[in-house]
Structure 1
Amino acid sequence: MFTARTTTGISILAAAAVGTLLVGCSASVEVKKSTPPKLSADKLAGTLSEKLAAVSGQPKPHVSCPEDLAGKVGTTLRCTLTADDGSTLGITVKVTSVSGGRIHYDFKADDKASPATK
């Protein structure tokens, strides 16, 4: 029983630490041209997962995004990182610029993780 609580606590702390490390992170992705360009939810989640792993030095976390990201400056989208124990951490993605088929965006994880739901 103690081990389960320790593991949950460590997972939540790790998720919160990732959030702290992500202040001001940004990325850009080339997408198929459309008007406006769109980045698929799966590709965005994959890119965020890779960036989070690189920043935290941890394995790629599971990230999901509810919809495609429209390449329009100012557009925001909320994605979710889910830890192995089921706790979650929100990630806000905001489009900062679009040049041709490339969408540039910033992302920031929430300061606090939400515990796993039972």
Structure 2
Amino acid sequence: MSAAPSILSAIAAGVLLAGCSASVDVGTSTPKLSADKLATTVAEKLAATTGQPKPDITCPEALAGKVGTTTRCTLTADDGSTLGVTVKVSSVEGDEINFDIKADETASPAPN
């Protein structure tokens, strides 16, 4: 039996994580968090909050370290269903980007 429904229900319950952060390499005036590092950080935070295994998260782009910047990531469950996750920069302190994570309330079913 797949754990996908329990993972998605735990996360889709409106998970809002405030105060997540990640340090980045600053090669320009605006720090950026790579798409891979962002996905890993989001997955770790969601797993810690829900008590579920680390989910499969993909983010399409790097997150610019500018307050108010947002990006959308996707959580894909074992059964192929997906859940959108919004990441929004709340503050930037040097090379550390602080962001909030908000999961959508409903998941999209797996494609047939």
Answer whether TM exceeds 0.5 for this pair.
yes
The answer for the alignment partner of 2:78 in structure 1 is 84
Larger Rg: 1
TM-score by length of 1: 0.86
Residue 11 (structure 1) shift: 2.4
**Other-structure match for 1:47:** 41
1:14 corresponding residue in structure 2: 7
Percent of aligned pairs with the same amino acid: 57
CA 1:25–1:19: 2 relative to 1, 3 Å: farther
Counterpart AA for 2:22: V
Gaps (5+ residues) in structure 2? none
User: 1:72–1:95: 8 Å Cα contact kept in structure 2?
Assistant: yes
What is the CA-CA distance between 1:14 and the residue it aligns to?
3.0
CA RMSD of the aligned region, Å? 1.6
Q: What SS does structure 2 have at the residue aligned with 1:115?
A: coil
Q: For residue 22 of structure 2, what is the aligned residue in structure 1?
A: 29
Q: Which runs of 4+ in 1 moved over 4 A?
A: none
Partner secondary structure for residue 114 of structure 1: coil
Contact 1:93 1:106 (C-alpha < 8 Å) held by counterparts: yes
Report SS of the residue matched to 1:55: helix
Tell me, what secondary structure is at the counterpart of 2:40?
Answer: helix
CA contact (8 A) 1:21 1:55 kept: no
Secondary structure, aligned partner of 1:77: strand
Q: Where does the alignment leave 5 or more consecutive residues of structure 1 unmatched?
A: none
Aligned to 2:89: 95
Instruction: Give the number of aligned pairs.
Output: 111
Question: Shift of residue 17 of structure 1?
Answer: 2.0
